[in-house]
Amino acid sequence: MSDYGFLLTTPAGGWPLLAVWIGVPMLALAVDWWLGEPPAGWHPVVWMGRALQWWGERLAPVAPVARDLKVFWLAALAWCAQAAIILIASWAAQELVLMLHGFLAAALLALLLKPLLAWRMLHDEVLAVEVALGQSLEAGRAQLSRLVSRDVSSLTAVQVRESAIESLAENLNDSVVAPLFWFALLGLPGAALYRFANTADAMWGYPGMRGGRYWQWAGKWAARADDVLSWVPARITSGLLAVVANGLPLSKLARQARKTPSPNSGWPMAAMALALGVRLAKPGVYTLNSRGRRAGPLDTQRAARLGSRVVLATVPVVVVLHLLMLGVWTGLRA
């Protein structure tokens, strides 16, 4: 079937398909925590990155151009063509899996969803920054460079720690909440499309030179697409952080979130800063919770624990969204 009508049917194994659908995010998160990432050769996000790199090398110019609408539209068409392939492939895979016995369908769909989210890797990489800082500042900077694209060579130990906590908060949305949100709304194609858009933004969505190429126009579509798809999930992530932190003043959270250039990443980062009571800053760009204390070693661990609570809290949100979508489609079919 090509719509949410399959939620109203029962597969041959006797399981209500809605029960299968709701169980998938929990199974995917369990696989993520216990098994981690699949090998690079089998990782769909790696495949997306390779395709984006191939197209980027052919679309982005090597010299700055004041206004290049041709490059913009060519890059937009390349983005849309790749997105269409991903949507078709993920939809076909989902349809095939949902023909199977209930438990087998849930297990296989969870295995297909797992590579599109990554909490365990993010959790471990952020804590590894703190371990590296305990060895030396240079080791901390080197570990942080695995997480962020900014220049880390002049960061102090506190700034390294702040950047790691910021990365955890931002990627808590990008790598967990947002993929699950779009899975709840559109199934595996929704999660795959979001992961592609987020990867494209990470590789193309730069306002100037990067990697010897000029992305001002070649990456504009990718950046805006990610902004649109991340808008609601980023605010859900900040709301969940507020809940697991036993409440945050929403007006203050909104004011802090608007201090960053991004329309979305400031929300989870501001929520994390307020939840921990620390100051988080990107030198020369923004400062969140400026009256907060300097982040210490224990704050990195506290941030990781808060992130784990948000991941668990995301599951019931996904269930509610599934049920709402079921209600919508049931009403349309009535």
255 Cβ partners below 8 Å, 6+ apart?
none
C-alpha–C-alpha distance, residues 141 and 129, integer Å? 8
Range of the domain at 27: 4-333
Q: How far apart are CA 137 and CA 156, in angstroms?
A: 7
pLDDT for 7: 47
The pLDDT tens digits for 312-333 are 999 999 988 888 877 766 666 6
Contact 215, 207 (CB under 8 A): yes
Partnered with residue 281 across adjacent β-strands are 287
Q: Which of 154-168, 286-300, 311-325 has the lowest mean pLDDT?
A: 311-325
Nearest to 11 by CA among 101, 133, 111, 106: 101
Token output for 71: 């490059």
- 170-223: pLDDT as tens digits: 999 999 999 999 999 999 999 999 999 999 999 999 888 888 899 999 999 999
Name the domain count of the chain: 1
Q: Which of 64, 87, 313 is nearest to 187 (CA)?
A: 87
The whole model's pTM is what?
0.92
Burial 224-244 (b: 16+ CB within 10 A, else e): ebbbebbeebbbbbbbbbbeb
Distance CA 205, CA 246 (A): 35
CA 163 from chain centre, in angstroms, equals 17
Angle at 122 between CA 262 and CA 263, to 5 degrees: 10
pLDDT value, residue 4: 45
